[in-house]
Amino acid sequence: MNLLVSISRNIYPLDKRSIDKARARWNDLIHPPQSLGRLEDITCMMAGVYGSDEIEDRPKKCIIAFAGDHGVHAEGVSPYPQDITRLQFENFVNGKCGVASLAKCNNIDMVAVDIGMKGRESIVGVLNYKIREGTDNMAQGPAMSMDDAVKAIEIGIEVAERCIVDGYKIIGIGEIGVSNTTPSTAILSVMSGRDPIDIVDFGAGLPSQELKHKADVIRKAIEINNPNPTDGIEVLAKVGGFEIGGMVGVILGCAANRIPVVIDGFISYAAALIANRINPKSLDYLIPSHLSGQKGARLALDILKMNPILDMNMCLGEGSGAALAMPIIDSAIYAYNNMARFSQEPIGDFLRSYEADQGK
């Protein structure tokens, strides 16, 4: 808990002076004012994160992906066996899964972390921070202890800080865990006060006739555990998952170290909701990558007051949205650094003369 408390206390608001300087710089770049829209907003936000209007081109980037299994799988909330978590996580480090392929295409490094998968055998290339082999069944009691919830978050902080020491300037988050849309939907239900049936979705291929059962399991878990929606750690412990806790830790750790975090889809929204309860200032450090195709996605983003960069009708997870958004962030930075300036080009003299003639 000491690490979590220390990190949370060291999260400060974005540097407004740097944001204003970045906006002034954009206003001097040769283009109609604000015509590059979100690209301008992204770089101004990043200036506030870094505390400087000087942003390096193509900063070193990685996606930290956490893997964890879930006891609630026993309730029949997923059509797939839990073995899929481990089998697919091997593909995070060999470049064969969706996020790994997108990351490799865009020169983004993958950092894979076993935080709670079933199975004791290590996977080559995967960091072993296993808390234990999956959470408990949240439909019968808490998913984990409060101590394990804090431990999951602190693992995320530790891995984030390792990456920051290694020179990463933009960090994305991702995950894998069969059944993890169930705890994510539970977290959103608790935080929003909405009944699970209003926001539950298929996840990874659940038949439509099973949706009511999935919603019933989530509702039962919430009723049994009665998590306090204002206490992010309690919500994580009672109806969350280890990989969700790991992503919470990355968000908090990066915010305390003034590093932007590119969040992914629905599961990462649940992590952001918990991070917001722990320290609301942490949300200022997040760049939402895409609008997840999951049913509750828009509600979660509305609570977080976030507008994602992309809408690609994706719901893969893994960090795939973060991998797609990072090249757009690179493009925004490159334009910011390399466009000509009105103050340094003949067109600027012409426009100033023209506006003077027009009495502006």
Which residues form the catalytic set? 318
**What single-letter amino acid sits at 171?**
I
HEC per residue, the chain: CHHHHHHHHCCCCCCHHHHHHHHHHHHHECCCCCCCHHHHHHHHHHHHHHCCCCCCCCCCEEEEEEEECCHHHHHCCCCCCCHHHHHHHHHHHHCCCHHHHHHHHCCCEEEEEEEECCCCCCCCCEEECCCCCCCCCCCCCCCCCHHHHHHHHHHHHHHHHHHHHCCCCEEEEEEECCCCHHHHHHHHHHHHCCCHHHHCCCCCCCCHHHHHHHHHHHHHHHHHHCCCCCCHHHHHHHHCCHHHHHHHHHHHHHHHCCCCEEECCHHHHHHHHHHHHHCHHHHHHEEECECCCCCCHHHHHHHHCCCCCECCCCCCCCCHHHHHHHHHHHHHHHHHHHCCEHHHCHHHHHHHHHHHHCCC
Token pair for 202: 């298929």
Q: How many CB atoms sit inside 10 A of residue 15's CB? A: 18
Q: What angle do CA 264, 102, 281 make, to 5 degrees?
A: 25
For residue 128, the Cα-to-chain-centroid distance in whole angstroms is 21
Count of positions (residues) in the chain: 360
How far is 203 from 193, CA to CA, in rounded Å? 21
Burial class from Cβ neighbours inside 10 Å (0-12, 13-18, 19+) for residue 327 reads middle
